[in-house]
Amino acid sequence: MLFHNPLRQAVLIKRYKRFLADVKLENGDIITVHCPNTGAMTGCAEPSMRVWLSDSANPKRKYRYTWELVEDFAGHLICVNTHRANQIAGEALDHNLLAPLQGVQNLRAEQKYGYDNRRIDWFGIDSQQRHTFIEVKSVTLATHNQGYFPDTVSKRALEHLRSLQDMVTDGHRALVLYTVLHSGIEQVSAADHIDPKYADACRAAREVGVEFYALGCKLTPTGISPLRELPVLM
């Protein structure tokens, strides 16, 4: 995934109201930008961190710029735009970068499924002709090289797990794909210390056949590339 236009560099002043951030541009101007992340963004939104912004080039948009990347104080690059996770996961699936998912065909994004008619991030048919439901999660929370999901209590993530379990019970294939958008993360775990209900639900889901994988990526200010599978520890 390449950014369509060169990203603009700035320094973070503060993030607030979840979807907004004030930044200082290299020319000294202070502007408000869109922050496309509903999580706590722990370790990703400290004042004075260097950030990169994409330009919508739409002067009529209320917030012309979108916050894409941040460099933490350890020098790691992090993508805070959670919408990028699905796009990068799709590239990895298309290029068969994850061995357990090689052979999944007819991939379609944002398909309705389940008894409550919710949307799955990716749907396909595997080599055994099973319907395959792929829920993508963005991972940015890190302690040293250990990544965690979620970074705040997430009722929505819990509901997604239950829907995936329903799919497995119905004879389909279902999995969670953690897309790691932090250059320092080498493995991923459910965040017991933040959302123990989600962590317990992950272990229960794995017992009934829901699969868990993680995708490591290369992050640069010009683009983000899916690289390789990372371990998932439960």
Q: Do strands 118-125 and 131-139 pair parallel, antiparallel, or not at all (unpaired)?
A: antiparallel
Rounded to whole angstroms, the Cα distance separating 1 from 176 reads 21
pTM: 0.96
pLDDT of residue 178: 98
Does 26 have pLDDT greater than 80? yes
Nearest to 121 by CA among 178, 184, 199: 178
The 10s digit of each residue's pLDDT in 122-156 is 999 999 999 999 999 999 999 999 999 999 999 99
Give the pLDDT band of residue 19 (cuts 50, 70, 90): very high
Neighbouring CB atoms inside 10 A of 154's CB total 19
pLDDT of residue 59: 85
Give the pLDDT band of residue 35 (cuts 50, 70, 90): very high
Give the pLDDT band of residue 162 (cuts 50, 70, 90): very high
In this prediction, residues 49-74 reach a mean pLDDT of: 96
Instruction: Please give the single-letter amino acid code of residue 19.
Output: F
Q: What is the mean pLDDT of the chain?
A: 96
Peptide bond into 47 cis (omega under 30): no
Calculate what percentage of the chain has a pLDDT beyond 90: 94
β-sheet bridge partners, residue 71: 50, 77
pLDDT of residue 15: 98
**58 and 69 in contact (C-beta within 8 Å)?**
no
CATH code 2.40.50.580 region(s) in the chain: 8-79
CATH code 3.40.1350.60 region(s) in the chain: 84-233
Does 10 have pLDDT greater than 80? yes
CATH of domain 8-79: 2.40.50.580
pLDDT of residue 212: 98
Fold adopted by 84-233 = Trna Endonuclease; Chain: A, domain 1 (3.40.1350)
The 10s digit of each residue's pLDDT in 195-226 is 999 999 999 999 999 999 999 999 999 999 99
Give the pLDDT band of residue 234 (cuts 50, 70, 90): confident
pLDDT of residue 20: 98
The 10s digit of each residue's pLDDT in 78-129 is 999 999 999 999 999 999 999 999 999 999 999 998 767 789 999 999 999 9
